[in-house]
């Protein structure tokens, strides 16, 4: 659909081009993952215990086995919530 000069564009569509192109930085995904894990499981993870690989979209946790197992049990719920918050193309696919 062609836009003519002077036509009014709704605010919700104003930044849609950038929303589709830009990818959140690695740190943003790590911080949001920490928040979601805390909300879903009630466990707190420090920033230095999580890494996110952008190319493979994988979250790696350096925590004890018991904590990792609890996160693995609720991994579907965690990944689903991350999809809502970060959008499908930017959210992690795997938690290890």
| 60 vs 20, more confident | 60
- The confidence score (pLDDT) of residue 43 equals 94
Strand partners, 39: none
Q: What is the pTM of this model?
A: 0.76
pLDDT at 4: 64
Give tens-digit pLDDT for 41-93: 999 999 999 999 988 999 999 999 999 999 999 999 999 999 999 888 889 99
Angle at 33 between CA 11 and CA 24, to 5 degrees: 45
Q: Taking residues 13-19, what's their average pLDDT?
A: 77
How confident is the model at residue 87, as a pLDDT? 83
Q: Look up residue 53 and give its DSSP letter.
A: E
């Amino acid at each position: 659909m062609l836009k003519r000069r002077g036509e009014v564009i709704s605010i919700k569509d104003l930044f849609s081009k950038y929303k589709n192109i830009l990818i959140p930085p690695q740190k943003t995904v790590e911080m949001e993952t920490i928040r979601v894990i805390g909300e879903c499981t009630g466990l707190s993870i420090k920033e230095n215990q999580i890494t996110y690989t952008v190319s493979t979209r994988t979250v790696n946790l350096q925590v004890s086995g018991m904590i990792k197992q609890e996160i693995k049990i609720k991994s579907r719920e965690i990944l689903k919530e991350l999809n809502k918050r970060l959008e499908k193309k930017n959210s992690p696919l795997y938690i290890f």
